[in-house]
Structure formats: C-alpha cells, structure tokens
Structure 1
Amino acid sequence: MVNGAFGVGKTTIANRLLNEIENSMIYDPEEIGYMLRNVIPIDIKRTESTRGDFQDLDLWRELTVDMAKKLISKYEINLIVPMTIRKIEYFQYIYNGFKSIDEQTYHFCLNASKETIYERLRLRGEEEGNWCFQQTDKCLEAYKRYDFGEYIETERNSIDEIIQDLKGKLIYL
C-alpha cells in the first residue's frame, strides 16, 4: 500500500515499484470508487456518502478488499496499491483486510509539505482549489494525528532513493 495526499508522489512511486517488483501489478481502488459512483442510485449515495466521497460507501471498502483477494488468488500476483486514504478507520479496515489475505502486506505513507504538494498538483495540471487541493490539509492533519505506519519523506529524497528505501523494507518470497 502506497498512501499519501494527492500530489505527494504515489503514482510515480507505484509505477517505479512495478518495474522493480517481479510478478506485480498496480491495483488502484479508485477504480472501484468510480464504478460505484456510476452504479449506486443517488438516494443511496446521499445517505451513505453525504460529502460525495466514495470512500464513505461501505461497499467501496468491502469491494476493495474482496477484489484484492480475488486478484491475488486468481493471478498469484503482488499488488501495488496507490491510494489516498486519511480516515483511520477506513485505513484499518482495508489494511487489516489485506493482511488477512497476505501477511506480507506493507503500508507506506508518503509525506511532503503542503507547499510541495500544491506545487506538484499544479505541475500535473490540477485546477487550483479542486478536490485534490481541498483534501491536502485533511490528509496532512490525519497523517500527523494517527498512526499510518511507516512514513516516507518524498520532499528531500530522490525517486531513486525512495525506491531503494522501499525495496530494502520489502521481504521477497
């Protein structure tokens, strides 16, 4: 699991890890969220997700874990899971669900300053003030307040240094 605020470097790190970890694939739970956003009736979404965040849907969390189990079982593959998850109870549900599937589950929470994150969001073409920008303070506060496992600094370290650090922390079977 590669967690962190939007713009912190999750996708970049996940794509590089894909090239470094044999027999792996990227599994992005946002895709499940997009699907649910399209199929769940509006009245149910309003009841379960008053803020419009698909992570508030119980079914998103359940399907995120269930799909991971099916992917690992069917393809016997290592999953690299980039995701922005800041609610500790959602994180614990998914992390514990992944751990029940594979004891060799790791979680890394990428970190950078608000200014760096904003600059990265701008560089990737995000519109100032959009959803990604709105989540930054919430994410940074949650990552300070709760234990999201191992934190990896992305601001002062190169991508190569981060990848080497992560690879050193992983246990290969």
Structure 2
Amino acid sequence: MIVWINGTHGVGKTTTAPLVRRLLPDARVLDAEKVGETLMDITPGLPGTDNFQHWPPWRPLVVETARRVLDYTGGTLVMPMTVLVEEYWREISEGLARHAVPVRHFVLHADQETLRGRIEGDTVLGPSPFRLRHLAAYAEAARTWLHAEAEVVDTTHLVPAQAARRIAEAVEAGVGATVNG
C-alpha cells in the first residue's frame, strides 16, 4: 500500500513522512521528488519548465518506481509529494490502480496565514519565495478537487508528530476509502 502525503509546499510533508513511517509496520519513505531530480540531471536538459511534474515522464516513472519497490519489499510506502494538478494526480493514482496498488491519500492542510508564517519562519530552509508562490495554487486545488480526493488532516494546530499519529491511526484502522483515482 501507498500512504501518499499531499499538501502545499511548506505544510510539513517531508517532516511528517518519516514520523508516519516509524508508526507503521514494514514502512519505507519514497520521496517522488527524487524521481524529478533524476530527470533534472539529464544532460542536455529536458525542455525548460518551472516544475518537473510538467515533464510527461515524471508521472509514469513515479508509478513504476513505487510499484517496483513494493513488488520487491512489500509493506507500505509513505510518499510525501505535493501534487496540485488534478490531471497529474489522476495519472498517478490510475497508474497505481492498474497495478493493484492501494493508495491512502492524505492532505496536510493549514490555513493560509499559518502556512505563510511557517514558510517565512522556516529555520532550516529559510523563507522560500517558491513555497509562497504555490499557496494560491494549493488553495485553488483544495477548493476544486484536492480535499474531495483525500483524507484531510488539518495541521493548523498540530505538530508533525500529532499529524503523523492521525495518519497512522487512520491507516491502521482502515478508516476512509482507499483512494485510487
């Protein structure tokens, strides 16, 4: 199974994912961003874009990587990755469904003011114009499709360990529909 942790940049996915991994038996973290980084390393480079998710190979490579890892190891893959384009989410989730890989899709959410404060006050990465630029896209995705396609964990008043516990408890209880598309 895959536990996909979605949400805007700066909401805490990368921090929460290893905490979820520790709470679930036989779990591993697979960051789909690494697939994008591999594509970014191709020389000469692929056609210019501001987001590797726009490259058509990224989405099927994420599916293929995840399914191959699961075929090899079994267990659960915890995948922290922002996907705000509905078409891209459909391509990934339908690709996983074709391989009979169940997906629990969670969205870490916080209100815009909280997100802005977290991004601007980030002591590890520092304030990030990239993260701030995606707040509007996240709000639009949340309003139009994303929250309807996932189990939303409001992190406005939670620390990452609390969010991780909520996700792990939901997975272990089997609460919520398995989402594949």
**TM (normalized to structure 2)?**
0.82
One-letter amino acid matched to 2:54: D
User: Aligned with 2:77: secondary structure?
Assistant: strand
Q: Distance in 2 between the 1:67 and 1:172 partners?
A: 27
Q: Which amino acid letter does the alignment assign opposite residue 133 of structure 2?
A: Q
Any idea what the Cα deviations from partners look like across 1:28-65, whole Å, max 9, x if unmatched?
A: 111111110110534x413xx3xx21000110001000
Corresponding position of 2:138:
139
In the aligned structure 2, how far is the partner of 1:118 from the partner of 1:132?
A: 9
Give identity over the alignment, percent: 24
Mapped contact 2:27–2:75 kept (Cα < 8 A)? yes
Partner residue in 1 for 2:6: 3
Deviation sequence 1:43-88 (CA, Å, 0-9, x none): x413xx3xx2100011000100000011001122310000011000
Q: Which has the higher helix share?
A: 1
Correspondence list, 1:113-132, <5 A: 113-121=111-119, 122-128=121-127, 130-132=129-131
Q: Which amino acid aligns with 1:135?
A: H
Show structure 1 runs of 5+ residues with no match.
none
Shift of 1:162: 2.6
The 5 Å alignment of 1:21-170 reads 21-39=24-42, 41-42=44-45, 44-46=46-48, 49=49, 52-121=50-119, 122-128=121-127, 130-146=129-145, 147-170=148-171
Q: Give the Cα separation in 2 of the matches to 1:34 and 1:151.
A: 28
Q: Is the 8 A contact 2:7 2:109 kept in 1?
A: yes
Matched AA of 1:142: A
Return the TM-score normalized by structure 1. Answer: 0.86
Q: Which runs of 5+ in 2 are unaligned?
A: 175-181
